[in-house]
Amino acid sequence: MPEVVVVGGGLEGCAAAWALTQRGVTDVVIVERATVGSGGTGKSSGVVRCHYGVSSLAAMATRALDVLENAEDVLGVDVGFHRTGYVVGVGEQNVDALHASMADQRAVGVRTEDIDVSEVAKLWPVADLEPFAAFAWEERGGYGDAYQTAQAFSGAARRAGATLRQGTTVTEILAEADRVRGVRLADGTEIAADHVVLAAGPWSVPLLAAHGIDLPITVHREQIVLVDPGQDLGAVPVFSDLVSLQYVRPEPGGEILFGNSDLSRLEPADPDRYSNRASEHAVDVAVAKVGARFPGLEHAAVASTYAGCYDVTPDFNPAISATPLRGLVVAAGFSGHGFKISPSVGRLVADLVVDGESSDPDVPASDFRLSRFAEGDLLTSPHPYVGAGQMR
Ligand SMILES: Cc1cc2nc3c(=O)[nH]c(=O)nc-3n(C[C@H](O)[C@H](O)[C@H](O)COP(=O)(O)OP(=O)(O)OC[C@H]3O[C@@H](n4cnc5c(N)ncnc54)[C@H](O)[C@@H]3O)c2cc1C
């Protein structure tokens, strides 16, 4: 009988399995209904930054860099991390919030600094920077490949003793009284275990609901547009534009990946049936936003589009938490920002399974407790950005 069953072979489930093996718990089974990384993970933009207003998330992001930057040593393979640097720019109304947030980030170890407009102009020469009043720079920022990273976690966990069962669907979490005792699979067989980690993204919801546990996740489609810049941009950093609400990052092949960070209007979706192409409207928005911010891209053209789904909670932050069922830990609801923190998510899950508490004082487990939604005590930034409220 394995010690731990992990339900879901996405980034977070694989990170949890790997982190458990690091804590000496090697008798772990990852159960994945399709293949590793086939859920939201395979669609991730992979932006890596520590710019969070919520301190525990900034701490998780900066700790995670130690793994992403040194993946060949830590996980045994390259995970496609590119350290390009990260720039975030805000308008006049958000200057105070930017600086307050940066101070909190530094307090948990983030390397972030003020950068002036002339320096940003050197980094992104084709950009119109006039509407910005202040910028922050993270030299350790960049982007990674979430699919490769999930595979790397899974591979490292397996080399340490974990087992991966792909093409295997969990239909039920088994419990006796208030204690978990394993999972039932679609073929009717059971895997008995004293601990279950539920990391099945939006598909976690019905598995918990069967036990009367509410995980408030709604699913939304997020559309990505790849732009051919029509010129060689050189080594540009990831740019988060909190004035017109967009993020752009380079692709290894020279294209620009555009994401719309205006999350004030969300498009509800079914994660099992959604269009994988951006709508005409979304492409129009991308063309308008990229065109306005980067007027120097005179010969730019849309190269391709695709879409993925965010599993969104009421505060746009995940539940990484014990549950009313003893032995059951949930890690879901990453709301579109679970890549950059994934190594730290794994660590927190492993801590919860082994010790029942976080081993990192900067990452209190209480921040991510599932019960905060029912309590109405949401996890939000103390320095919210006006007009960009979903930037956590
Ligand atoms: C378009 C897009 C852009 C993003 N950009 C960024 C970004 O720039 N930076 C960032 O930090 N994050 C980003 N994210 C978020 C990040 O990619 C996700 O938070 C993360 O990949 C979620 O991983 P997960 O393991 O929780 O979920 P998933 O990858 O969805 O994994 C869940 C797994 O569970 C499996 N499963 C479901 N039901 C069952 C069952 N009953 N039995 C067994 N297995 C089951 C599924 O097949 C799936 O593989 C983005 C996400 C999207 C969609």
Q: Residue 113 — φ and ψ, nearest 5°?
A: -145, 160
Taking a C-beta distance cutoff of 8 angstroms, is the pair 357, 351 a contact? yes
Cβ-proximal residues to 343 (8 Å cutoff; 6+ apart), any chain: 15, 19, 63, 64, 66, 67, 68
pLDDT at 388: 83
pLDDT at 251: 96
Give the E-state strand segments of the chain in sequence order: 4-7, 28-31, 47-48, 86-90, 113-115, 134-138, 142-143, 163-165, 170-176, 179-185, 190-192, 195-198, 218-228, 238-241, 246-250, 256-260, 267-268, 301-312, 319-322, 328-332
pLDDT at 375: 98
Q: What is the dihedral of CA 15, 16, 18, 19, to 10 degrees?
A: 110
What integer is the mean pLDDT of 323-331?
Answer: 98
pLDDT at 264: 86
What integer is the mean pLDDT of 56-82?
Answer: 98
Q: What is the pLDDT of residues 256-300, one digit of tens each?
A: 999 999 988 899 999 999 999 999 999 999 999 999 999 999 999
**39 CA distance to ligand 1 centroid (A)?**
5
12: closest CA among 351, 332, 319? Answer: 332
pLDDT at 257: 98
Q: Is the CB of 35 under 6 A from ligand 1?
A: no
Mutate to test the pocket of ligand 1, among 5, 36, 43, 44 (most ligand atoms within 8 A of CB): 44
Percent of residues, the chain, with pLDDT higher than 70: 99
For ligand 1, atom 52, the nearest C-alpha belongs to 44
Taking a C-beta distance cutoff of 8 angstroms, is the pair 89, 370 a contact? no
* pLDDT for residue 120 is more than 80: yes
11: closest CA among 270, 337, 250? Answer: 337
pLDDT at 317: 98
Instruction: Give the DSSP letter string of 22-51.
Output: HTT---EEEE-SS-TTTTGGGG---EE---
Q: Is the CB of 31 under 6 A from ligand 1?
A: yes
Q: What is the pLDDT of residues 195-252, one digit of tens each?
A: 999 999 999 999 999 999 999 999 999 999 999 999 999 999 999 999 999 999 999 9
Q: Which domains does the chain have, with CATH numbers?
A: 4-44+147-216+315-374 (3.50.50.60), 86-139+218-312 (3.30.9.10)
pLDDT at 174: 98
**210 CA distance to ligand 1 centroid (A)?**
22
Q: What is the pLDDT of residues 16-28, one digit of tens each?
A: 999 999 999 999 9
What integer is the mean pLDDT of 34-44?
Answer: 98
What integer is the mean pLDDT of 294-320?
Answer: 97
Alpha carbon of 320 to those of 31, 77, 249, 380: distances in Å?
19, 27, 28, 15
Q: What is the dihedral of CA 22, 27, 32, 33, to 10 degrees?
A: -170
Q: Is the CB of 86 under 6 A from ligand 1?
A: no
Residue 62: CA count within 13 A, CB half-sphere: 23
Q: Residue 271 — φ and ψ, nearest 5°?
A: -65, -15
pLDDT at 265: 86
Exposed / middle / buried, residue 212 (Cβ in 10 Å: 0-12, 13-18, 19+)? exposed
What integer is the mean pLDDT of 353-373?
Answer: 98
What integer is the mean pLDDT of 152-158?
Answer: 98
* pLDDT for residue 392 is more than 80: no
What integer is the mean pLDDT of 142-150?
Answer: 98
What integer is the mean pLDDT of 87-99?
Answer: 97
What integer is the mean pLDDT of 322-330?
Answer: 98
Cβ-proximal residues to 236 (8 Å cutoff; 6+ apart), any chain: 84, 123, 124, 250
- Between CA 141 and CA 61 the distance in angstroms is 10
For ligand 1, atom 25, the nearest C-alpha belongs to 10
pLDDT band of residue 374 (cuts 50, 70, 90) is very high
- Between CA 197 and CA 213 the distance in angstroms is 15
Which ligand 1 atom lies nearest to the CA of residue 310?
53
Provide the greatest CA pair distance for the chain. Answer: 65
- Between CA 278 and CA 265 the distance in angstroms is 15
* pLDDT for residue 391 is more than 80: no
**200 CA distance to ligand 1 centroid (A)?**
8
4: closest CA among 204, 192, 211? Answer: 192
* pLDDT for residue 390 is more than 80: no
pLDDT at 380: 96
* pLDDT for residue 332 is more than 90: yes
* pLDDT for residue 148 is more than 90: yes
Mean pLDDT of the chain: 97
